[in-house]
């Protein structure tokens, strides 16, 4: 089950992540219109999301032991 299905999302760390995920940023900011910029920002966000989910799983595993 993915993080989006569990209902938890991380808050964006910087303005680039807000711009990449928000409708306003995608429409009106020219640097996101370049190829690969938005996908690079999203890739970093998803990587951080997976890393934090793995840490939570490890913490829960150690608590149950």
Task: List pLDDT tens digits, range 28-57.
Answer: 888 888 888 889 988 998 999 999 989 988
Which pLDDT does position 54 carry in this prediction?
Answer: 92
For the full predicted model, state whether its pTM sits above 0.85.
no
Nearest to 44 by CA among 6, 23, 17, 18: 17
Is 5 a residue whose pLDDT tops 80? no
Q: Where do we find the tokens 């938890």?
A: 8
Average pLDDT, the chain: 81
Q: Residue 41: exposed, middle, or buried by beta-carbon count in 10 A (0-12, 13-18, 19+)? A: buried
Domain ranges for the chain: 14-64
């Amino acid at each position: 089950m993915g993080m989006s299905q569990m209902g938890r999302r991380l808050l964006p760390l910087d303005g680039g992540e807000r711009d990449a995920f928000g409708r306003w940023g995608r429409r009106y900011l020219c640097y996101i219109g370049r190829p690969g910029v938005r996908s690079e920002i999203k890739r970093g966000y998803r990587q951080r999301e997976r890393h934090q989910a793995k840490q939570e799983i490890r913490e829960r595993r150690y608590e149950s032991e």
